[in-house]
Amino acid sequence: MDKITRKTSFGQWFSPINLELFDDQVKTLKLDFYTKKLTTESFLKLLLYAQLEEVESLHALSDCLFDDQLQKGINLDSISISQLSRRLNGMNPDLFQRLFLDLVSQIHAKTHYTKLIMPLKIIDSSTLPLNLTNHKWAQFRKTKAG
């Protein structure tokens, strides 16, 4: 991953985010108050990278920071798992809600959205493990339901 530019796939993921709104929210919610290393912007970039690369855990995400290009793109040398966990637990969901609503409004603006034509629908493809004997309707493998 080079520097985060629009030419990289990571840059394309990050470019629709309204950085002005993001900075305003970080200041309003005081998310970077007393933060020395893991700023909210670096953390958001790291979360987007984890989503893009399908990183399975905070341990694996911490290990990803051995990549020099990722370090430059995120502006972070290394981070411990405990710091990632604390930051994740302390993150205000209002920030993500505002960013999401802004992205939805961008989608509506580009698609000339009207409520009568086509609503925006969110699809979650998560699989939850269920007991096959109790949930026969949810079979997704021979021995498992979900």
Indicate whether 26 belongs to any domain.
Answer: yes
Candidates 52, 43, 32; CA nearest to 74 is: 43
Profile the chain (146 residues) by mean pLDDT over runs of 10 residues.
Answer: 55 84 90 84 88 87 86 82 89 91 86 65 73 73 66
Q: Is residue 129 part of a domain?
A: no
Q: Is residue 91 part of a domain?
A: yes
In this prediction the pTM is: 0.69
- Going by C-beta distance under 8 Å and a sequence separation of 6 or more, which residues neighbour residue 108? 120
Domain region containing 43? 9-116
Q: Does residue 103 lie within any of the structural domains?
A: yes
pLDDT score recorded for residue 144: 64
Supply the pLDDT for residue 117: 62
Provide the residue type at 39 as one letter: T
Q: What is the Cα–Cα distance from 40 to 133, expressed in whole angstroms?
A: 45
Instruction: Say what the pLDDT of residue 37 is.
Output: 84
Residues in the chain: 146
| Domain count across the chain | 1
